Structure 1
Amino acid sequence: MGYAKGRAKRRDILDQATALFGEAGYRGTSLREIAARCGISHPGLLHHFPTKQSLLLAVLEHRDEVDSVWITQGSPAGAAALRRLVDLVALNATRRGIVELFTTLSAEATAADHPAHAYFVERYRALVHDLRTAYTEARDAGDLRPGVDPALAARELVALMDGLQIQWLLDDTSVDMAAAIAVHLQTQLTR
């Protein structure tokens, strides 16, 4: 029973930290604010996450774990892997807090002294690599239009997704992120 309560409290802390980091950024959020939202004391929060940096990294890792399980389900490759991104973008449109968190933190983390700097450097490196692999697989299967360079296409897709997230956060009534990604991929894929 105690372990279940501890896991539930840990999950609540992650949820509240995700919301606050998304709203005010990492530097604009204190552990005391997160503890207050969770209905626990500051020392109670430190029992689960001994530092603000450890909490931030746990929030980011949790987001990646959830998305990774979802996006790799069925082991899509090539064009199928690229199309799966459309579904992930559509899912993100139902998770405003996650999109706010990612957008805010990725911008803050451009500073080399930010605790999530290394995380975002590695995340973007891995994402571009994975997308380049998917584009290359699509090309090798005959699913990529001639002239589309997998390396450049991977970077363009990441830039498009990030830019659409910012526009959507500013006006979610006029931006359909998933539709824009789908149209972009249609211009690159043969089927």
Structure 2
Amino acid sequence: MLALFPLIILYAGTVALFALTRENASGIAVYWGYFVPVIGLISLVTAWGNAYVRGDSRLFYLAKQIIIWGALAWVLTILHKMGVDSALGGQKAAVTLIMMTALVALLVGLYLDTKMVVYGAFLGFCGYLLADPGHSAILVKIGEPFKVVDPANKPVTMVIAVAIVAFLVAAFFLLSTRGSAASKRSS
């Protein structure tokens, strides 16, 4: 259960920030900015076993993670210093930050950690709903299997449902990696 705690933080934090961003809370981009290093740290810690299972150098793995997440932090710092967040406004700056983080999470997932692909796709889905709330027809298709009445008008409920499914898929990848590491150690 302890292995799943970082994923719980990841998905619960994203859902909470999504709800706050949707309510157009002032200064919400700052909170997303504080959450990006948390995402990077969780990515680093929870995928440590992947390097062991694949037989990769852990130092090389650590360097890749630091370079990728450090580059995102560097770009976000430059954009903040240029005043992009204040020029765009709170919600637009938050959506920009979300989409950039989703892209980085997808890239990390493709190259280093499969469960981050799932999280990156989930984060991109959240960013899409925030960027284009008028076109939430996708929620109708997603709401059908969950039996949600009028899902287009319940984006937070739908994000919670998608977060649960994404969490379960990511947990499967995490636990399968831990199982592979345990079998490698025993042999």
Larger Cα-atom Rg:
1
Q: Fold-level match, TM-score > 0.5?
A: no
Q: Which has the higher contact order (CA 8 A, sep 6+)?
A: 2
For Structure 1 versus Structure 2, the TM-score category normalised by the shorter chain is 0.3 to 0.5
Greater helix share, structure number: 2
**TM, length-normalised to structure 1:** 0.32
